[in-house]
Amino acid sequence: MTPKQLREQCDHLFANRSNLLLLWQEMAENFYPERADFTLRRTIGDTFAENLMTSYPLICRRNLGDSISTMLRPTAKQWFHMTVQDDTRIDNEARAWLEWATTLQRRAMYDRVTRFTRAAKEGDHDYATFGQGVLSVRLNKNRDALLFRCWHLRDCAWQEDESGELGIFARKWRAKAIDLERTFGRARLHRHVIERLEQAKPFDEFDVYHAVVPAYLYDEKANGKPFFSVYYDIANDHVIEAVPTWNREYFVPRWQTVSGSQYAYSPATVAALPDGRLLQAMTYTLLEAGEKIVNPPIVATQDVVRSDVGLYAGGITWVDRDYDERLGDALRPLTQDARGMPLSAEMQRDCRAMLVEAFFLNKLTLPQRTPEMTAYEVGQRVQEYIRGALPLFEPMEIEYNGAMCDLTFEVLFRAGAFGSPFNIPKKLQGRDIRFRFESPLHDAIEAQKGAKFLEAKSYIAEAIALDQNAAAIPDAVTALRDVLAGVGVPAKWIRSETTAQQVIDAQEAAKQSATMLAAMQQGSEVAANLGAARKDMAAAEMPA
């Protein structure tokens, strides 16, 4: 693929996505007005949400977007953990290295200069509103820290390959001349850009494509690297930079996808959009009806009222002095029927309840345990919570947190943040690092291991009462290790299998030594008693 063909493919991707911008614009206007600039350009100072009568749909979207970070990425705890696919075959040394690497990556992500919190927050609200977000992870310009960014969906387009993964990804960048010079150096820029710099016009803007392309599509001479990063000056048909890379830099967490489209949808806003429109219309109708009841329209007799009707406080309306009131009031309020107001308020409450359910806000709270609840009832409520929360948390953990942590680990690993690959424990060398996440859903699932352990204990105790041989069935040590790992006990708190066996062997040896010493002591005491008895018998046999 030549650079010109790549530019044509990027143009094609953006052209095919133009109708989708209309849907995103309407969703943003109803639920995320700060982001409602897909089909128009906002200027500083524009008023948000001028077309809305109530902020309730916005609040529902805001609560869901804020809950993503609160529930899945709480800063007060270690919300991700490195692991491997079959972690039962690794030893304690490998677990300790994984915990150390997890702590290192978390410190690197939450460094102040990385802008991780800002990018993740923007991505959370894009994900909640539009069902996807575009974020990037790379080293900063000085290559001494990570840099996280969240990009506007309006400026991004992509396609899928034959396996459903991202193929060509394109981002449109409205770049200033001074930014292009600071990023790439003046030697790589087109002469028109250099002329603007020389003419002291550093803030003139140029449209630039940043495309990340699989290497087999762009150039097979990539030195084994799987992707090409290409910056293309659109106006000047000029390739600024084309370099092979180890990763695609961008990741696109997608919530709910449908076959035949590379773009996802938010099941929350798709379900809430009709109710959001309806609630705005009902609120407007109720406000208008309430104004008419409080300040009803005035009916005036023609050619009798001689001034404007004063509907303000202390207002005066002048009426012709010769008008005969027996013919009817010169001014009279129009009668209003307010009997439908309670029904309208009930409909409005029902619409708000539907919005809460559409945004999964009724699925975010763990079931509360009361003292009178049995263990079985608690387990059933936890199962109900898992069934309700799974559609919300499962794609977020895999598509969002998983993609973010995988790409971050790869960037740090390539930069040497984890030291030499030869220092990695042998049990981990050649194995893919994966991530396990902590969330209310994960906590509820893992907490069941402890509950199952206690439940099995009660069953075994009942069985032992009938038959003592039942005590030989469970492997208590293996079960305890599984439970401790499930509830998140650090690996350095737990002895390794080898160390634990050595402790057990030492205890057994100590018991055997104590038994032998007790036996020897008992034997010596018996011998002493026999000797004393012989002496007594000999003394008794001697003549007086």
pTM exceeds 0.85: no
Q: Which residues contact 300 (CB under 8 A, 6 or more apart)?
A: 309, 330, 331
Distance CA 135, CA 148 (A): 7
Distance CA 471, CA 460 (A): 7
Angle at 391 between CA 390 and CA 392, to 5 degrees: 90
Is 230 exposed, middle or buried, given 0-12, 13-18 or 19+ CB atoms closer than 10 A? buried
pLDDT for 153: 94
Distance CA 212, CA 223 (A): 16
Distance CA 193, CA 203 (A): 11
Provide the H-helix boundaries in 295-364. Answer: 341-358
Distance CA 51, CA 325 (A): 45
Dihedral sign, Cα of residue 377, residue 383, residue 388, residue 394? positive
- Which residue matches tokens 């199962």? 383
Helix (H, G, I), strand (E, B) or coil at 93: helix
pLDDT for 63: 92
pLDDT for 28: 93
Q: For each successive 10 residues of the chain (544 residues), what is the average pLDDT?
A: 89 92 93 91 78 90 89 83 79 85 92 92 94 93 92 93 88 93 91 91 92 86 85 92 91 90 92 91 81 69 65 64 68 64 78 90 71 66 70 80 92 89 82 80 63 70 76 72 64 67 76 73 65 64 59
Q: How many CB atoms lie within 10 A of CB 404?
A: 23
Going from N- to C-terminal start, the domains of the chain cover 3-55+116-122+134-265, 297-334, 375-493
Instruction: Say if residues 49 and 33 touch (Cβ distance below 8 Å).
Output: yes
pLDDT for 229: 92
pLDDT for 232: 93
